[in-house]
Amino acid sequence: MSAQDNVNSPAHYTQGKYEVIDIIQASMSHEAFQGYLLGNMTKYLMRCRHKHQDGGTEDLKKLVWYAEKFIANIRVEK
């Protein structure tokens, strides 16, 4: 049995075969989704020293997860 992954695929964000992030992305424009990702990155940066007793490690890992998602969803403008 593997340990719960609260950063990459938390069980509470998976509904059946879909992850909530995929449903959110499908429900909005590309630009709105980019704003959503940036907002979450800001949230995790601002709270990393205050919420958990791990020195902010878990929140910083979540920030990185959202940053990687943001980078993966950048569209090259021509």
What pLDDT score does 9 carry? 61
Sequence-distant (6+) residues with CB within 8 A of 28 are: 36
**What global pTM score does this model have?**
0.76
What pLDDT score does 53 carry? 78
Alpha-carbon span 16 to 20, nearest angstrom: 10
- Decide if pLDDT at 19 tops 80: yes
∠ CA 48-51-66, rounded to 5°: 40
